[in-house]
């Protein structure tokens, strides 16, 4: 799929006081080690050899802490931005459900390697609203001031395959500078490969979320 826009941004769209409320909410919850589609949380439990092997493999791909936020008011903040971006860019993806938001915390040295948020196969979850759907649009809301951390840049790669499995051409990597301001938000197709570079100082807080629809035809 050829795209004219790989992301759409909203500068400081969410007021700082609201960002602080979300930050306070996220910090009040017990954090979990962030996992991936290939490595599930249950496989990391205990101190078995297998669990240690899985954790080591996970750290090579993703290293951060997360909390799921199911509060509707947080979810409602993102909806207008998703709709506007989807229309303004000409993507016009059909979507009808949003997953709970994910409060994410990156300490010094933590990161998320190249990945995309969507999968080839739809969710298999009979009886749940995600059943038969795929992720189509992704959003990230920044909760931190840029002065509070360094590194932790959101980068995108326009090519639609895993950059780690092919020779990486540096001039094809897009640094999303517009996300560096607190309260700013970006929307992008879930199939676009992206990463969060290692945080080199401070702590980076953000809220990713995903918006689902029927599989591509």
Q: Under a CB-based contact definition with an 8 Å cutoff, are residues 114 and 132 in contact?
A: no
Q: Would the pLDDT of 80 be above 90?
A: yes
Q: What angle do CA 158, 178, 173 make, to 5 degrees?
A: 25
**pLDDT mean across residues, the chain:** 88
Question: Where does the pLDDT of residue 40 fall: very low under 50, low under 70, confident under 90, or very high at 90 and above?
Answer: very low
State the pLDDT at residue 104: 97
Residue 141, pLDDT score: 98
Res. 170: pLDDT tops 90: no
- 66 pLDDT higher than 80: yes
Q: Which residue has the higher pLDDT, 13 or 167?
A: 13
CA within 13 Å, CB half, 65: 14
Confidence class for position 122, pLDDT limits 50, 70, 90: very high
- pLDDT band at residue 39 under the 50/70/90 scheme: very low
Name which of 38-42, 86-90, 116-120 the model is least confident about: 38-42
Q: What angle do CA 95, 197, 47 make, to 5 degrees?
A: 90
Pairing of strands 204-213, 134-142: antiparallel
Confidence of residue 168 (pLDDT cuts 50, 70, 90): low
Q: Give all domains of the chain, ordered by start, each with its CATH number.
A: 8-213 (2.60.120.620)
Share of the chain above pLDDT 90, in %: 72
* pLDDT over threshold 90, residue 211: yes
- 43/105: higher pLDDT: 105
Per residue in 182-207, pLDDT (tens digit) is 999 999 999 999 999 999 999 999 99
């Amino acid at each position: 799929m050829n795209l004219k826009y790989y992301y759409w941004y909203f500068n400081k769209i969410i007021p700082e006081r609201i960002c602080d409320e979300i930050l306070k909410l996220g910090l009040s919850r017990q954090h979990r080690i962030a996992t991936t589609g290939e490595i599930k949380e249950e496989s990391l439990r205990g101190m078995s050899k297998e669990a240690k092997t899985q954790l080591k493999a996970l750290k090579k791909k993703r290293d951060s802490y997360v909390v799921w936020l199911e509060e509707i008011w947080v979810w409602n903040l993102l909806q207008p931005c998703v709709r506007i971006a989807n229309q303004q860019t000409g993507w016009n993806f059909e979507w009808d459900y949003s997953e709970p938001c994910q409060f994410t915390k990156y300490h010094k040295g933590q990161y998320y390697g190249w990945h995309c948020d969507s999968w080839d196969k739809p969710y298999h979850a009979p009886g749940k609203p995600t059943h038969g759907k795929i992720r189509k649009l992704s959003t990230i809301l920044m909760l931190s001031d840029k002065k509070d951390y360094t590194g932790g840049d959101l980068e995108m790669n326009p090519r639609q395959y895993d950059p780690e499995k092919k020779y990486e051409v540096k001039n094809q990597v897009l640094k999303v500078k517009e996300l560096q301001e607190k309260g700013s938000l970006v929307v992008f197709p879930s199939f676009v490969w992206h990463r969060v570079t290692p945080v080199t100082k401070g702590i980076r807080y953000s809220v990713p979320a995903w918006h689902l629809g029927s599989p591509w035809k």
